[in-house]
Structure 1
Amino acid sequence: MQESLVLALARYFGQDRFSSPSLVPHVASLAPESVQRAARYSGLVLRQDSPRWKEVEALADTHSANFGEYVQIFGIFEQAHKARVAKVEQMYLQLANLTPLELLAYTSLYAFEHLIPGILEGTQASGGGNVQEAWNAIEDILAWKLATCDPASLRMNDRTIGTSLGTHLSPFLFPSREGPPPRSDLYSAFSTLVDAQVELNSFVAGSADAFCYNDTIRFVMLGERLEIVETDATGIADWHRDGDKLTRLHQYWLYRGMAALMKSPDTLALVGPEHLEANLQAFAKAMGTWQQLQEVYGVAEHVQTEAGSKVDVFRSLLAIELMTAFFIEDFLRPYQEYLGQFGHPWIALGRLAFGGLTQVEMQNRLPITWSDKTAKIAKITPWTVSSDYPRGQEQAAEAILDFWTSDWVTLADQLRRGDACLRPRLHERPMLKMGRHLFELPWMVAVQNNATAAVNNLRRLGARRGDARDETRRIEQRLAALFAQRGFQVLVSYELPSLSADANDVEEIDLLCARDGRLLVLEIKSTYLRQSVKEAWTHRHVTLRKAGRQLNRKVTAVRRALEHGESLQQALALEADCMPEIAAWIVDTSIESDHQRFNGFLKVSLEEVVIALRDDRQWLNDPDGLFQTGKASGTSFMCDSDRADFASLYPDGFSAKRFVEVIESAAVWNFLDGKSVR
C-alpha cells in the first residue's frame, strides 16, 4: 500500500497542470518518508521551478525535522546543475556558427585523438566508462546543433561539402602554407565543450538520477557538501551482476552465430576471400544477432522501415557488420599503424587519407565519408547476393539503407519544434542523411555494438511499428515451441472462459506449459536494451510492477479454472482431480531487475529461459577465450556445439521439476559466483 502511495504521489509531483495544496502537507504529517521518496522519484531535483517543488519546499517550515535538511540537499543539487548548464551554454555560443557537418568534422578529430587510440590499444572498451561518456556527450552536442541550425545548412551539395571540410577538416590533415590554417580555436572550443557536456551528463546521471532513482544509496549532508552512503550492498552487487550478464549474453549470441555459420555451407559460400577472417566474423555476428532477434524479440524475416520499404533483416544485419569489418580493416588498422609510426593523430589521419587518394580507384579515407544514395546503393548491392539474385538486388540494398538511416532534416525539424520524439542514438541509425547525401563516421561504425543497435532500432525507435504486435505473438509462439520440444503441453495466448456474468472477466495467459504434474504460468514482456538507471527504474516500477499484478490475477484465474472445470486439464493433458504444482514467472526480454520478485512472482530474462531449455550455457562462459582480451575481432575461432567438457544442467535427464529448480536458483549463472560450470 505504501509503495502505491509513493508512486501515485510521484505522478502528482511529476506534472504541473493540477494542484491540490492540502495534499502534500497532509501526507507529510502521516508519512514524511513517502513524500521524500515521491519527490525523488518524480525528478523534482532538476525541476525546482515547478510549483510542485514549491509545495515540498514549504514543508521545511512546517515539518523542519523531516524536511529541513532534505530541502537543503535539493538546493545543493540546483546550484551544481545550474553551474554546469551555464558552462555548456557558454561553450555553445563559441560554436554557434558551425553547420552540423562542420561540427561532425571536429567530432571526428576529437574521436581520433581521444577515443580511438584507447580502444585500439585495448585500454578502453568501446562501450565502457570514459568512452561511453564522451559518446553520450557528443550525441547531446549534435542534438543541440540540429535544434538550432539553419535548415538550409542540412541541404548540401558537393560544393558546400567541399567548402566546409576544406575549411574545418583538411587543414588539420593536410597543413599547407598556401591553404587556410587549421581552426585550432574551434577545435579547442569543441574539446572544452565535450568536457563540459560530459561533466553535466555525469552530474545528471551519476548524481541527480542516482539521487532520484537509485535506492541502493542515499545522499547525506556533510557540512555544506553531499556525501554518498551505500545502503544496499546486495542491490549494488545485483546491478553489476546484471551488467555482467548482459555482456555474456552478447557473447552467447556470437557463439551461437559462429556455430550456425559453420553449419551453413550456403552462407559460408557468400563470404568473400578478401579480409577473410574479418568477413567471417561479420557473418557470424550477423547470424548471432539474427537468431537473437527471432528467438527473443519475435522479429520476422522482413520488417517495414519508416520509409515504407520492406527490408530483409538478416541482410540488413549483415550489411552493417560488413561495414564495421571494412572500417576496421581499411580505416582503423592503417590509422593505428600510422599513429605508431608518426606519433600524432593528425599526421596519421592525413597519411590515411592520402593513402586512399593514391589507390588506383581513389578511395575516401577521411574521418567522414559520404555519397549520394544512388552511389551508396551500388556499393551495398553486392552484399545482397543470393541464389535468386546472383548479382544482388538494388531494391534490397535501398531498403537496408532506409533501415539504418537517420534523416537529419526531419530530426532537426522535430527538435526545433520541441516535438517529444525519440532521438536516434548515433549507433542505432549510423547513416546520417543530409539532403541527398548519406554521411558515415567510420570511427564510430567500426567500434559500435551492432546487436544493440539492431535491437533498439526495432524495439525502442520502432516500438510503434505495425509489425510490433505480431512480434509479441511470435515471441510467445517461438518460446512455446522450445517448451514443446522438451515435452511440455503448451497453450499460447490462452483465454480463460469467464465464470461470471461480467464479459470483461477474461484473462489471456501468454503461455501455459504443463509436464510431469507441474504447470508454468508465464507473463511475457518485450522491451529494449536500456542504458541508464532512470530507464531501469521506470521499467521496474511501471512495466514489471504491472506484470506482477497481472500475473497475480492470472494465476488466480488459472487455479479457478482448474478447480471448476475439466477443459483446461484436458487441454494441458493434466490428471483430473489433481491440482498441479504451479510456478508463475514474469519472463522479460530485458535483464533489469533480474531474479527479483514482483507481487511475489519471479522475474527472469527470456534469454535465460531459452538457454535453460536448450541447455547450452557453455557459450556464456567464453569457452574459446574470445572475450578474455577484449579482442574478439581478428581472433580465429572454431565452433563445436557438442562440447563435452561442460556439465549439463540436467545430469539425470530433463524434467519439469529440475527445470523449475534451474530457473528459480539461477543455475544458468552460477559460474558468476565462482562456481564451476563443469
Structure 2
Amino acid sequence: MNERYYDKLVSAAREKGMTISAAADEAAMAFLDGKPAGQGRHKWSGGDRQTAFWNSEFLKDLPADVWRQETLGLALTRYLGQDRLGFPEIVAQVATIAPDVLVWAARHSGLVMRQDSPRWLEISGLDTNQHEALAELKRVFHIFREAHQVRQEEVERLRKPLSELAPLDLLIYASLFAFEHRIPDLVYGRSQPEMPDAQEAWDAIDDILAWKLSNCDPSDVQLTEMSIASSMRQHLIPFLFPSGERPRHDCYQAFLELLGAQVELNAFEDRSADAFSYDDSIRFERNGDRLEIVDADADAQTAWRRDGKKFDLLHQYWLYRGMDAVMADPDLLARVSPAHLEANLHALAKAKGTWLRLQEVYGMAEQVRADAGSSAALFHVLMAAEMMTAFFIEDYLRPYQQCLSETGNSFLALGRLAFCGLLQPDMQNRFPLTWSDRAAKVDRIKPWTATAEHPSGSARSAEAILDFMICDWAAMAKQLRDGDATLRPRWQERPLFKMGRLSLQLPWMMAVQNNSAAVINNLRRLGARRNEAREETRRIEERLGALFRKRGFHVVVGYEIPALDTEDANAGEIDLICARDGHVFVLELKSTYQRRSVKEAWAHRTSTLRKAGLQLSRKVPAVQRALGRDMELTAALGLANSPSTVTAWIVDTTIEWDHQLFRGFLKVSLEEVLIALRDDRRLLNDPHRLFAGNATLDQGAEEHAEPGKDDTLYPDGFSAGRFVEVIQTAAVWADSL
C-alpha cells in the first residue's frame, strides 16, 4: 500500500507544469472520488485514504487561496464528518491559514448535530482569541446545542407514558389521529393551523414507530388474531363503539403530545440544523442568544422552489402518459372491473405511467426481484399498489366521508364505517387498520396479476408482489436494537408490515401516499446495490439512445476512448454520443433515487454531480481528439470531415440542481431531455384539466392529437440546433412554471 500516493499525484502534476493550486486540486479530487481503490488483497479502505491524504507532505505548505478551493474544502468536510481517525494538526493549520475554510467545512459536515464528536472538540479547543470566526461559530453551535437538547428532552419525556405500549397499539393511535386530523383535511380541503401537515406527521409517526421497535419486546412483533383482538378491545373499540369500557384518552392524548414534540424536533433538525449545514441560500446570524435566518441567495431559493414545482408537474405528465397507454390497450381495458370504473381507470393510468417512468428514466426491466429472491412483473407490482389505493379510497375514505358528514364526529364516523363493514355478507373489515395472513393477502392480490396466459392471475406472481411490498418488522426491530446502520425502509416504501404470520396494512396511509415515489425509492434507494443496478444503467443509455435515433441522430452507446496517450487514460467510457446537423452531444448519465431533503440534495451536488462535471472535463477533450483520429467513431456518428460543435451535458434522473453548471457543464434532468425529444410538453400543462377537477379520466383520454403549432417546441421542424436551444433555455418548462 503506497502511503505517499497523494504526494506522488501532486509531484507528477507539478512536473507537467501545473500550479500548486491545480496539483492540490487533482489530489483532493482523487481522495473525494475514492482513489486509490487498490487491487486484490491490497484494497484501500476509507480509513486508509483518510490516513494517507492527511499525512501528505504537500498539505503542510498550502497557502490560503489553495485551501479555499471547493475540493480541499470538501475533503476537510469529509474528515470532519467521521469520528474514527483524528488529525488535529490539520485542523489547527487550516484555522491559522484560512479559518473561513474551517468554518465552512465544520458547517457542511453536520457537526452542529454531532457536538460530542472528537472533530468538534478539535475545533472548539482552539484558541478562539486568535480566531474570531471560530469563536462566533462556537457561540452559534452552543445555541443550536441548547435548542436541540430542549427538544430532545421533551421527546424523551413524552415517550415515557407510552413506553409500555406495543407497536400495534401505537399504530392504532396513529390511525385515530389520521382519521381525526388528517383525513378530514384531505376530504374537505381544509387545514388545521395547530396541526402538522401530512408529510411532517407521517415522518414523525415513522420516527415514533422506529423508537418503539428499537425498544419493544420481540414478542410484540409476533402477532396473532388473539393479540390483535386484545389490543383493539383496549385501545380502539371504546373510541368507535361507546359502551361501558372507557376509551384510553390518556394514551391517545399522550400520543398526540409525543407526535407534536417529534414534529417539532424533526422541524428543528430539518429546517434549522440541516438548513444551517447544507442550505447555502441562507445564513444564520446571531442576535444575542437567538439566531436569525437571513436570505443569502434569492436566486437559489427560487431555483429550489422551481425544482419542487417541476416534480409536481412530472407527476401529472406521467399520469397523462399512462392514461394514453391504457386507452390504447384494449386487452388491459377489458380487465377493468365496471365497479368503481373511474377509480380503477385512474389506478391503471397511474400504474402504467409509473411503469413507463421506471422503464424510460430508471432503466427497469419488466421483472424486479424482491429481497426474498422472488421475481415479480414490475407493472403488476405497480398495479397492485394503485389498486390497493383505489380500493381504500372507494371502500374506506369515501364511506368515511359520508359518515363524517352525517355524524360530525370522526370517531362516531369510524364506528359507523366499521359497523357497516361487519353487516356485509362477507363481514368486511372496515377498521382503521387491517390484517391478514399470507394466503389471504395472496388471494387478494392474485386477480391483479391476470395475463393472457393466466386470465385468473398467478398465485406465484402475487406472492412475489407481496414480498416486494412487505417489511418484516421483527427483522427491522432487531436491526434497530443492534444499531445496524443499514438503510431501513420508510413505512410508505414498503407499506405491508409483517409481524409474525400476520401482515398489517393502514388503509388511510395507502389511500393517500405517492405510490410512484414509494416504488422508485424502494428500488433505487433501498435497492441501490442490487445486482440489476448495472444492467439498469445500461438500459437507460440504450433507451435514451433509441429516442435520439428516432429524431434522426446517429448514436454511439458506451464508447471506450482508445488510450493512445496519457491524456485519455482517465477518460473512461462515454455513456452516450449523439450526432446530427453538425452537432455532437456528449452525455454523462447519472441515475439515483428521489431525494426529500436539503441534506440529501447537497450530498448529491457535492458527490455525484461534482464528479460528473469532473468526468466530462476529461471526456470532452478525449472525444474531440477521437473525432479527429477514430474513423470508426466518425463513421458511426455519420460525420464528414467538416468540424462539429461539441455540446456536453450531465443528464441526471433527479430534478435537484437543474440547469446549474458543474465544471462548466450544464446539468439537466433526464425527463426534461425525454420531453424535449418527444415534443410533448403539453402534458405538463394539464391539457384536459384532470388536475383542476373539471374532467374525468375517460373524458380526458378522448383526445390523442399531435401537438399543434402553439404546442410544439419545434415550429420550424426539429433540428439539433433548436434542440440545444430548447434544453439550454429550459423551454420545456416555459409555459408551466
Shift of 1:497: 1.2
Which letter maps to 1:444? M
| 2:107 equivalent among 9, 33, 40 | 40
Aligned to 1:430: 495
Which letter maps to 1:53? W
**Identity across matched positions, percent:** 57
1:238 matches 2:309: no
How many pairs are equivalent?
667
1:510 matches 2:575: yes
1:63 matches 2:126: no
Q: Does the aligned pair in 2 maintain the 1:489–1:572 contact within 8 Å?
A: yes
Q: Does the aligned pair in 1 maintain the 2:682–2:707 contact within 8 Å?
A: no
| 2:363 equivalent among 287, 290, 298 | 298
1:151-162 matched pairs, under 5 angstroms: 151-162=218-229
Shift of 1:568: 1.9
1:312-323 matched pairs, under 5 angstroms: 312-323=377-388
**Aligned to 1:586, what secondary structure does the other structure show?**
strand
CA distance in 1, matches of 2:124, 2:70: 22
| 2:554 equivalent among 471, 476, 489 | 489
1:600 matches 2:661: no
Q: Does the aligned pair in 2 maintain the 1:60–1:71 contact within 8 Å?
A: no
CA distance in 1, matches of 2:568, 2:721: 36
**Aligned to 1:461, what secondary structure does the other structure show?**
coil
CA distance in 2, matches of 1:635, 1:439: 34
Which letter maps to 1:447? V
Shift of 1:636: 5.2
Q: Does the aligned pair in 1 maintain the 2:99–2:131 contact within 8 Å?
A: no
Q: Does the aligned pair in 2 maintain the 1:258–1:639 contact within 8 Å?
A: no
**Aligned to 1:365, what secondary structure does the other structure show?**
coil
Q: Does the aligned pair in 2 maintain the 1:512–1:521 contact within 8 Å?
A: yes
Shift of 1:644: 4.5
Shift of 1:501: 7.2
CA distance in 2, matches of 1:572, 1:604: 23
1:203-602 matched pairs, under 5 angstroms: 203-500=268-565, 505=570, 507-576=572-641, 578-602=642-666
CA distance in 1, matches of 2:452, 2:190: 43
1:182 matches 2:247: yes
Which letter maps to 2:379? F
CA distance in 1, matches of 2:284, 2:266: 19
Q: Does the aligned pair in 2 maintain the 1:14–1:42 contact within 8 Å?
A: yes
- Give CA deviations for 1:203-237 in whole Å, capped at 9, x if unaligned: 00000000000000000011221100001000000
Shift of 1:28: 2.0
- Give CA deviations for 1:431-490 in whole Å, capped at 9, x if unaligned: 111111111000000000111111111111111111111111100000000000001000
Aligned to 2:205: 138
- Give CA deviations for 1:239-266 in whole Å, capped at 9, x if unaligned: 0000000000000000001111111111
Q: Does the aligned pair in 1 maintain the 2:434–2:506 contact within 8 Å?
A: yes
1:664 matches 2:734: no
- Give CA deviations for 1:19-38 in whole Å, capped at 9, x if unaligned: 22221222122222211110
CA distance in 2, matches of 1:408, 1:494: 45
Shift of 1:635: 8.6
Q: Quote the RMSD (CA, aligned, Å).
A: 1.7
Aligned to 1:72: 139
CA distance in 1, matches of 2:249, 2:697: 36
Which letter maps to 2:77? A
Q: Does the aligned pair in 1 maintain the 2:586–2:649 contact within 8 Å?
A: yes
Change (3 A) 1:124 1:607: farther
Q: Which gives a bigger RCO, structure 1 or 2 (Cα 8 Å, sep 6+)?
A: 1
Aligned to 2:683: 619
- Give CA deviations for 1:556-586 in whole Å, capped at 9, x if unaligned: 110121233423212211112x331000000
Which letter maps to 1:300? A
Shift of 1:496: 1.4
CA distance in 1, matches of 2:633, 2:387: 50
CA distance in 1, matches of 2:696, 2:137: 50
| 2:165 equivalent among 71, 77, 98 | 98
Shift of 1:56: 1.8
CA distance in 2, matches of 1:45, 1:60: 19
Aligned to 2:43: none
CA distance in 2, matches of 1:634, 1:261: 11
- Give CA deviations for 1:349-389 in whole Å, capped at 9, x if unaligned: 00000000001111000000000000111111111122111
CA distance in 2, matches of 1:102, 1:583: 58
CA distance in 2, matches of 1:275, 1:415: 41
Aligned to 2:12: none
CA distance in 2, matches of 1:219, 1:501: 47
Q: Does the aligned pair in 2 maintain the 1:278–1:633 contact within 8 Å?
A: no
Which letter maps to 1:473? R
Change (3 A) 1:633 1:440: farther
- Give CA deviations for 1:295-335 in whole Å, capped at 9, x if unaligned: 00001110111011110110111111111001001100111
Shift of 1:540: 0.5
Which letter maps to 1:640? E
CA distance in 1, matches of 2:258, 2:652: 39
1:9 matches 2:76: yes
Shift of 1:67: 2.1
Which letter maps to 1:652? D
1:641 matches 2:704: yes
With the length of structure 2 as denominator, give the TM-score of the two structures. 0.88
Which letter maps to 1:15? Q
Gapped regions of structure 1 (runs ≥ 5): 674-678
- Give CA deviations for 1:136-195 in whole Å, capped at 9, x if unaligned: 000000111111110111112111111111111111111211xx3211101000000000
- Give CA deviations for 1:563-612 in whole Å, capped at 9, x if unaligned: 33423212211112x33100000000000000001000000000000000
Which letter maps to 1:581? T
CA distance in 2, matches of 1:408, 1:460: 19
CA distance in 1, matches of 2:209, 2:594: 22
**Aligned to 1:370, what secondary structure does the other structure show?**
strand
CA distance in 2, matches of 1:634, 1:194: 37
Aligned to 1:676: none
CA distance in 2, matches of 1:579, 1:483: 21
